[in-house]
């Protein structure tokens, strides 16, 4: 079966300053992209309004990347409020009590709760500075992923370098793995430290890849997006 150019395995990160810039990017990308990630950085720049417009008026899928972390009652209430926007994915920190609270808040909605394991911008030196227990990052990510999925998460956010380990977990059956830190061959790493190419991520069992700067900083964002789509179809 021939896949359309709008293969939703590609999620474009709208790491732009505000909703106006986001709409402009969406116009440039057109039907080349069907799934967008809107993060915390755009929250005060009209991010929720942009998410709603792209979803309701343009038929796009939306990943709201808030990485919620608080006491259970607060997380539950926040997720319940966000779930009313009929969005697709929402991130929370992978602590089991946070995941359980988020699932309570999303009850009755199609919103998928994705658990953050360890940010792809971090390495072992960063974890030591944060007093995170010793151990190889891949082992810690796999452990956190297993616990989050057992707590009810619909999927996890993880570096492509840990995707195969997570996919091998019994808890990961029929669950989503979404990976930032994906860079086309030859692209600058930016602030990411644990990366892989789109083709490698798919081979390792990833369901969706998140790509930002290699697309929106490109001279022709639409061409850049279509190139990644092509790589996804021919990993």
Residue 20 neighbours by CB distance under 10 Å: 12
Report the phi/psi class of residue 192: left, alpha or beta, with left for phi > 0 and alpha for psi in -120 to 50.
beta
CA 156, distance to chain mean position in Å, is 8
The 3-class secondary structure across 3-48, one letter per residue, is CCCCCCCEEEECCCCCHHHHHHHHHHHHHHCCEEEEEHHHHHHCHH
Structure tokens at 196: 């892989």
CA distances to 1, 11, 33, 174, 186 from 211, rounded to whole Å, are: 25, 6, 11, 23, 14
Rounded CA separation 47/63 (Å) = 11
- Residue 67 annotated among the catalytic residues of the structure: yes
Q: Which of 55, 67, 109, 138 is catalytic?
A: 67
Helices (H), the chain: 19-29, 47-56, 72-83, 96-105, 124-129, 137-150, 160-167, 198-203, 213-216, 221-233
| Active-site annotation, residues | 67
């Amino acid at each position: 079966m021939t896949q359309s150019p709008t293969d939703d395995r590609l999620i474009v990160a709208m790491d732009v300053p505000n909703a106006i810039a986001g709409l402009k990017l969406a116009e440039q990308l057109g039907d080349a992209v069907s799934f967008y990630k809107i993060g915390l950085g755009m929250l005060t720049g009209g991010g929720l309004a942009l998410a709603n417009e792209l979803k309701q008026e343009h038929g796009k899928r939306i990943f709201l990347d808030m990485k919620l972390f608080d006491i259970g009652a607060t997380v539950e209430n926040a997720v319940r409020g966000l779930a009313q926007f009929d969005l697709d994915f929402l991130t929370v920190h992978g602590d089991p009590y946070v995941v359980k609270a988020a699932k309570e808040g999303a009850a009755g909605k199609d919103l998928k709760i994705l658990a953050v394991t360890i940010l792809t911008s971090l390495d072992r030196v960063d974890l030591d500075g944060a007093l995170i227990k010793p151990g190889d990052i891949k082992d810690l990510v796999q452990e956190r992923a297993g616990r989050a999925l057992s707590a009810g998460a619909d999927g996890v956010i993880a570096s492509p370098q840990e995707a195969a380990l997570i996919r091998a977990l019994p808890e990961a059956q029929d669950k989503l793995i979404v990976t930032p830190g994906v860079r086309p061959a030859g692209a600058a790493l930016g602030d990411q430290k644990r990366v892989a190419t789109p083709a490698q991520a798919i081979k390792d069992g990833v369901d969706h890849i998140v790509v930002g700067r290699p697309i929106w900083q490109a001279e022709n964002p639409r061409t850049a997006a279509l190139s990644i789509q092509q790589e996804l179809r021919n990993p």
